[in-house]
Amino acid sequence: MVKIALVEDNPDLRDEVEFHLSRLGHAVVGLPDGAALDAHLAGDEPEVLILDIGLPGEDGLSIAGRIRQSHPQMGIAMLTARGQIEDRLQGLKTGADIYLVKPVDMRELAAIVDSLHRRIHRPAPPARPTLSWALDRQTLELSSPTRRSVMVTPTEFKLLEALSHGTAEPVKRSALAAAIGHPEPDYDYRRLETSMSRLRKKIETYCEDDTVLRSARNIGYLFAAPLEVI
């Protein structure tokens, strides 16, 4: 069972999400705005917060920012109608772990709740070298040596896992394509370039490192630091 606070001003959607997650055995408290959330937090502390942006009074971005400061271990998932990339980046920078755009499949939302719960309660990883990056196969979280982290997609996880074997040498494009289920000769490598560009930007934005993921011209890509898959 996961203790969940759901902040959504649309009562129909709030009831729907609360019903589906409660049916899975979770303890869900539906709340209409930030003031109601604050009152709830005064007496209880949820493990996961599901949060809309367009709320009456204080908006969800402001709420996420201060909750991240006051409750750093709480899992925060944005669930909003705002789907532009600028909105996504702002939500993730503010403090959300996950950014979902409405409408959302309830199975996906339930899986994300479980993933956030595992992250919160997983045992502390064994000590690793200061310069090592870590890639968590359970939570799909990439962590830098400076303890900054970012959630990656399943495809990005497979690419990083393949890159973790080649710190000293670039990993060939064909090997990376095969790692994500697209062996030669039919694969369009422009798709790989797009995926790697997005991953590089994500690492630069959230882990503040614009040099660790590098391209090797006419060869492939290199993760230029130790990367441990845990």
In sequence order, which residues have a C-beta less than 8 Å from that of residue 87 and are 6 or more positions away? 53, 80, 99
8 and 96 housed in the same domain: yes
138 and 224 housed in the same domain: yes
Q: How many domains does the chain have?
A: 2
107 and 215 housed in the same domain: no
Tell me the residue range of the domain where 20 lies. 3-121
pLDDT 10s per residue in the chain (230 long)?
999 999 999 999 999 999 999 999 999 999 999 999 999 999 999 999 999 999 999 999 999 999 999 998 899 999 999 989 998 999 999 989 999 999 999 999 999 999 999 888 766 555 555 568 999 988 999 999 888 889 999 999 999 999 988 666 888 888 898 888 887 667 788 888 899 999 999 898 888 888 888 988 888 899 988 888 98
User: Could you give the C-alpha distances from 220 to 8, 142, 157, 198, in angstroms and in order?
Assistant: 45, 21, 17, 15
Overall pTM > 0.85: no
Q: Give the end of a domain, one of 93, 121, 149.
A: 121
Q: Give the end of a domain, one of 89, 121, 153.
A: 121
Instruction: Look up residue 13 and give its DSSP letter.
Output: H
Q: Give the end of a domain, one of 121, 152, 182.
A: 121
What token pair was written down for 72? 């750093």
CATH of the domain at 141: 1.10.10.10
If phi over 0 gives left and psi between -120 and 50 gives alpha, with beta otherwise, what is residue 208?
left
140 and 93 housed in the same domain: no
Distance CA 101, CA 104 (A): 6
